[in-house]
Chain A
Amino acid sequence: MQPVVTVSGRAYPWGAKNVDTDIIIPAHWLKTTTREGLAKGAFETVRAEPGNLFDDPTYRRAPILIAGENFGCGSSREHAAWALADMGVAAVIAPSFSDIFSGNAFKNGIVPVVLPQEAVDRLVEVARDHPITVDLDTMTVTTPLQDRFSFELDPFRRDCLMQGLDEIGLTLAKDTAISKFEDGTSRARPWISRESGNARIAVESAGRT
């Protein structure tokens, strides 16, 4: 994952509440084998409306999205985070997020910034004409109009984002502990290991229903 320290640029001044994962990426886009390319389906129903924010050239490839409370509610599909990342969104600012979405966002290098409703309202206003900066070093959102809002992040997740560490990389660093656990298992519960490689299991040994 790329380290994220600052996200700076135009922001979609949206502010909509309860944006669910079906709105972010409708179900028929789930038959895909990549994380990329989902920008095409992102906000499909919103974009069907003429004059919508997402097709306004002013905000083309804006790295920030400003939304209302409960952003990312609904199903657990990680495709929602992938669609945003594919659009070039690297930070979402909202008063609250669904737990699952914010977990998925972190895992995909998107900063979920929680700010009070008043701050979000102000940012929606400013973002219509000005860029916005989200800074993980100072933990602030700032604007060229001298606005400055502080936010908080789980320290572990902040580290992951700033250093570009992914959870997998961090767990892999614990390889010694995992190997030790596996050694213990192979003594205490040897039946857990299987002989792999029967790529096509013989029908005759199939067993019973």
Chain B
Amino acid sequence: MSTRPLTLYEKIWADHVVGRQGDGTCLIYIDRHLVHEVTSPQAFSGLRSAGRSVRRPDLTLAVPDHNLPTTARVDAAGRRLPITDTASADQLAALERNTAEFGIDYIDATAAEQGIVHVVGPEQGFTLPGTTLVCGDSHTSAHGALGALAFGIGTSEVEHVLATQTLLLRQSKTMEIRVDGTLGFGVSAKDVVLAIIGKIGAAGGTGHVIEFTGEVIRALSIEGRLTISNMSIEGGARAGLIAPDETTYAYLKGRPMAPSGDAWDRALAYWRSLPTDAAATYDAVVKLDATDIAPSLTWGTSPEDVVPITGIVPDPDSFADASKRVAARKSLDYMGLEPGTRMQDVAVDNIFIGSCTNSRIEDLRAAAEVVKGRHVADGVRQALIVPGSGLVKRQAESEGLDRIFTEAGFEWREPGCSMCLAMNPDKVPPGQRCASTSNRNFVGRQGPGARTHLMSPAMAAAAAVTGRLTDVRELLGGRVS
């Protein structure tokens, strides 16, 4: 046994190596596999045509989210309503059929537990510290918030995991991103991760697995940590980890799929051995000071295009790098923005509060705090609130948050990916601007020609009530202690 000090990532990796090939590629065991409707149908048909079965249905969980409309799913009598987009309906029906045929747990569209796959996993206790977890979706990195090594895979790999419960992988380098200090008034986890991506760049984490550390990360709830690790992929890293601690254990205890009784005690002892050893080192270290982080948002079409809300639209000529100057010019053209414009003077047409980045109960509470007693501004075409799961929705309703939103003029929807990627009917119309709590501001991501500004739920709520990009701190004065 080597006594070399190890990082959290190295410990999880070492515990999952089934075999090592001559070229350094390892066969890695996968403990948890989440499946959704868009990237799985071809994997199941591959299994079927090769006469193969699912090796570990018990380690697999399926839930529809990407394509599902967020309008009512059952009628007044509780009968399931049809989905009008036939291609979406077929994909959803295929997931239902495939999970039944291969014996996989399936949370159907009308169940209270249905939601975005990355919200459901932690919520059900399916996601556990020290596990390897995959899903055919790049934002699988979210689950790293609980100390799981979690990353997105392609459809052939989905099939590989279904058939063998393993993947062929090469070990990544490690990067520590340390955020110390205390967050200022009105600053949230989303602002922290936007600041991180603004600093390291959209390709900054390429080839690395990030571990987020420091006082700010330790002080965050699991909801906030999920927001941060979710966007690891936007910084180029395939996975982002946060070491499990008392916050993690308190969050997991008693969840339906988490261990209980003796198993819980044994698991806990193992989990406590996972955090990075004091003497371990990372291949790269990046440090941020919380006092430098303001409520932030994006101005361009890459998640690295971050400014504080008090800032201005940058001048493309101000970038040192020539390719960045070209990209910035293209971005501003697409975004319909002039250099030098104050971010706070930019009017918005759409508000989207949702996605696997920011659709949990804390996110909705933060947005409601801003919205309470106010109304969506006249110029806003549509303001959507899409809870991350049916359970989040139910919790929010029991706290009366839905009424705060609907009375203010928001639409209160059923859970799903929705306007995050515009695969269902929720789209931003061409040329319109959206204040969005999602994770990608790519060209056309929220619909062809849509202009996306990424921000926190509180900031999106502030934009909703003023009709322009707004410093949420101005609206929070006297409201939050």
Q: A76-B154, A171-B166, A177-B18 are in contact. Are A33 and B391 (CB under 8 A)?
A: no
Interface check B107, CB cutoff 8 A: yes
Closest beta carbon of chain A to B457's beta carbon, Å: 15
Interface check B105, CB cutoff 8 A: yes
Interface string of A23-41 (1 = CB under 8 A from B): 0000100111111000000
Interface check B203, CB cutoff 8 A: no
Query: Among A7-15, A61-69, A142-150, A187-195, which stretch is in contact with chain B?
Result: A187-195
| Cα-based distance from A167 to B52 in the complex (angstroms) | 13
Contacts of A30 in B (CB 8 A): 38, 423
Contacts of B52 in A (CB 8 A): 168, 172
Q: Are B154 and A201 in contact (CB under 8 A)?
A: no
Contacts of A169 in B (CB 8 A): 50
Number of B interface residues in the complex (CB < 8 A): 72
Which chain A residue has the least Cβ–Cβ distance from B158?
A78
Closest beta carbon of chain B to A66's beta carbon, Å: 25
Interface check B19, CB cutoff 8 A: yes
Q: Are B42 and A171 in contact (CB under 8 A)?
A: no
Q: A31-B67, A191-B267, A192-B31 are in contact. Are A201 and B105 (CB under 8 A)?
A: yes
Q: Are A34 and B42 in contact (CB under 8 A)?
A: yes
Q: A178-B164, A208-B255 are in contact. Are A34 and B18 (CB under 8 A)?
A: no
Interface string of A178-209 (1 = CB under 8 A from B): 10011001001111111111111101011111
Q: Please report which residues of chain B, range 150-183, place their CB below 8 angstroms from some CB of chain A when the two chains form the complex.
A: 154-156, 159-160, 163-166, 168
Contacts of A195 in B (CB 8 A): 58
Interface check B360, CB cutoff 8 A: yes
| Cα-based distance from A169 to B131 in the complex (angstroms) | 25
Q: A189-B270, A196-B58, A201-B124 are in contact. Are A168 and B159 (CB under 8 A)?
A: yes
| Cα-based distance from A206 to B113 in the complex (angstroms) | 7
Interface check A158, CB cutoff 8 A: no
Q: Are B266 and A190 in contact (CB under 8 A)?
A: yes
Q: Are A206 and B29 in contact (CB under 8 A)?
A: no
Q: Are A199 and B18 in contact (CB under 8 A)?
A: no
Cβ-neighbour of A171 out of B88, B91, B155, B160 (below 8 A):
B160
Q: Are A174 and B27 in contact (CB under 8 A)?
A: yes
Q: Are A177 and B106 in contact (CB under 8 A)?
A: no
Q: Are A192 and B391 in contact (CB under 8 A)?
A: no
Q: Are A207 and B164 in contact (CB under 8 A)?
A: no
| Cα-based distance from A203 to B107 in the complex (angstroms) | 11
Interface check B446, CB cutoff 8 A: no
Contacts of A35 in B (CB 8 A): 42, 45-46
Contacts of B423 in A (CB 8 A): 30-31
Q: A31-B87, A172-B164, A185-B29 are in contact. Are A190 and B263 (CB under 8 A)?
A: yes
Interface check A133, CB cutoff 8 A: no
Interface string of B383-404 (1 = CB under 8 A from A): 0000001011011000000000
| Cα-based distance from A12 to B229 in the complex (angstroms) | 44
Contacts of B27 in A (CB 8 A): 171, 174, 177-178
| Cα-based distance from A178 to B165 in the complex (angstroms) | 8
Q: Are B41 and A167 in contact (CB under 8 A)?
A: no
Cβ-neighbour of A201 out of B19, B88, B111, B165 (below 8 A):
B111
| Cα-based distance from A174 to B15 in the complex (angstroms) | 18
Which chain B residue has the least Cβ–Cβ distance from A195?
B58
Closest beta carbon of chain A to B473's beta carbon, Å: 27
Interface check B337, CB cutoff 8 A: no
Contacts of A174 in B (CB 8 A): 18-19, 27
Which chain B residue has the least Cβ–Cβ distance from A203?
B112
Contacts of B391 in A (CB 8 A): 206-209
Q: Are B29 and A178 in contact (CB under 8 A)?
A: yes
Contacts of B263 in A (CB 8 A): 190-191
Interface string of A65-109 (1 = CB under 8 A from B): 000000000001010001000000000000000001001100110
| Cα-based distance from A188 to B100 in the complex (angstroms) | 31
Q: A201-B107, A201-B113, A201-B256 are in contact. Are A31 and B88 (CB under 8 A)?
A: yes
Cβ-neighbour of A167 out of B85, B103, B160, B392 (below 8 A):
B160
Contacts of A209 in B (CB 8 A): 123, 360-361, 389, 391-392, 394-395
Cβ-neighbour of A33 out of B45, B108, B164, B166 (below 8 A):
B45
Interface check B288, CB cutoff 8 A: no
Contacts of B18 in A (CB 8 A): 174, 177-178, 181
| Cα-based distance from A185 to B254 in the complex (angstroms) | 23
Interface check B90, CB cutoff 8 A: yes
Contacts of A185 in B (CB 8 A): 29
Contacts of B124 in A (CB 8 A): 201, 207
Closest beta carbon of chain B to A123's beta carbon, Å: 29
Q: Are B87 and A172 in contact (CB under 8 A)?
A: no
Q: Are B168 and A207 in contact (CB under 8 A)?
A: no
Most B CB contacts (10 A, CB to CB) among A33, A104, A181, A192 go to A33
Cβ-neighbour of A194 out of B107, B159, B257, B264 (below 8 A):
B257
| Cα-based distance from A200 to B103 in the complex (angstroms) | 12
Which chain A residue has the least Cβ–Cβ distance from B155?
A78
Q: Please report which residues of chain B, range 284-307, place their CB below 8 angstroms from some CB of chain A when the two chains form the complex.
A: none
Cβ-neighbour of B105 out of A27, A82, A188, A199 (below 8 A):
A199
3 smallest CB-CB distances across A and B, nearest first, come from A33-B41, A191-B259, A196-B58
Query: Can you identify 11 A-B contacts, CB atoms within 8 angstroms?
Result: A34-B41, A78-B156, A168-B160, A178-B18, A178-B166, A181-B29, A189-B130, A203-B112, A206-B112, A207-B256, A209-B392
